[in-house]
Chains A and B, each alone.
Chain A
């Protein structure tokens, strides 16, 4: 047995976009144990529900995290709509799906860039983000915001996308598809990239289930867990199957995310074909009274929203269980036994979103 050393990792680290702290217990170069410490950006957004009324809170929910911003807004709105038993128009459901899938794409491409950055491939990182820029431009054109859209509202959406713009989006996506195919070859085939990801941080199917992993982390280990199959928003009318891999290593997680980007392009194209004409919003009257749990699929995995209303403008409780929070135990498990040099890549493969985790 070698000497044990404790190395603090974070809260500030080149690979981390957001602060999380891990105490790594090392035995020579091997990690024996990792102890997390969070709370550097705890903002108490769940508590804010007592100060902002339930309609204003939509904007707070969107600001839980910058990357899955739209999905947080959508999940919150869906929860309140369920409590108030509002049936939103079909067109709004499709529009939500389109924006949600575009968000998934931009989140995954962002993640690809960060992964490339983590193993030191700067050029690949820049190329990924260059492609992502086109999707951000779609957001700006359709919603007005590049990161925070403020288009989701209780009872529907606040902005419509014209048929012309929808066709234009499909055109842009075809271009993105072409560029991505070229770029993802590098992630999946390049020897130097593969040597950093293949066989690193293997999580078995049983372990993934036992540790409550969600999203690409679980899917890459063979656990079929995709909330989109439940058919919320317009997903019930679209044809798709969850993407599963069985290897459970970093390479498999990269592969699952890459396939999900192409799946999103396909889903958006299906949406554009199927989208019906009509209203985009119904009027909301009254205040929510009751409680509801909503599960939706974010880029990082399953997210749970819980809201409890008491019949007044202000909710009693609003809770978000975010995917990163569920993936932290799985991360700690994969860290055990890996070498110190692989720690940054392993932390990145859960696609950590610390703002989400702490709210």
Chain B
């Protein structure tokens, strides 16, 4: 007969206090590798469209003519594939999550090209 087998654990818990974190007030630490969201150094981007072609969900859109790079935040599955194929390594995984939203969010980054001389572009 064993009827009070749980009591040891329960007593320990009683004195330990909560194991959970009160979320909005205190945030859990993220790790270096935590896959939060994709970030881009738009100034290094050469608009080669490699990330757009390789993205499994088609979240990324690159427009070479308009020098713009955009990402559908809710379609992105944080697989890190785009950052691996990027030839300029200008894409990177940030360890902060995208903030919640009510609808689809497309974040657009536009390269400021007026500092470049015509020969460079």
Interface residue ranges, A against B (CB under 8 Å): 52, 56, 59-60, 63, 123-124, 127, 130, 133, 140-145, 148, 150, 158-159, 182-183, 185-186, 189-192
- Cα(A143)–Cα(B78), bound, Å: 12
CB nearest to A182 among chain B residues? B9
The reply to whether B10 and A140 form a contact with Cβ atoms under 8 Å apart is no
Within the assembled complex, what's the spacing in Å between the Cα atoms of A56 and B2? 53
A127 touches B9 (CB 8 A): yes
Q: Which residues of B contact A (CB under 8 A)?
A: 1-3, 5-6, 8-10, 13, 19, 30-31, 33-35, 54, 56, 77-81, 84, 93, 95
A–B Cβ pairs within 8 angstroms, 25 of them: A52-B56, A56-B56, A59-B56, A60-B56, A63-B77, A123-B6, A124-B6, A133-B19, A140-B30, A140-B33, A144-B35, A144-B80, A145-B78, A148-B77, A150-B78, A150-B80, A158-B84, A182-B9, A185-B5, A186-B5, A186-B6, A186-B9, A189-B5, A190-B5, A190-B6
B81 close to A59 (CB less than 8 A): yes
How far in angstroms is the closest Cβ of chain B from A135? 14
Say what secondary structure dominates the interface of chain B: loop
Residues in A whose Cβ lies below 8 Å from that of B10: 123
A130 closest partner in B (C-beta) = B19
> Is the CB–CB distance between B77 and A189 below 8 Å?
no
Give chain B residues whose Cβ lies under 8 Å from the Cβ of A144.
31, 33-35, 78, 80, 93, 95
* CB proximity of B47 to chain A, nearest CB, Å: 21
Partner of A158, one of B5, B9, B54, B80: B80
Q: A185 — which chain B residues lie within 8 A by C-beta?
A: 5
- On chain B, the residues within 8 Å of A189 by CB distance are 2, 5
Is A191 within 8 A of B3, CB to CB? Answer: yes
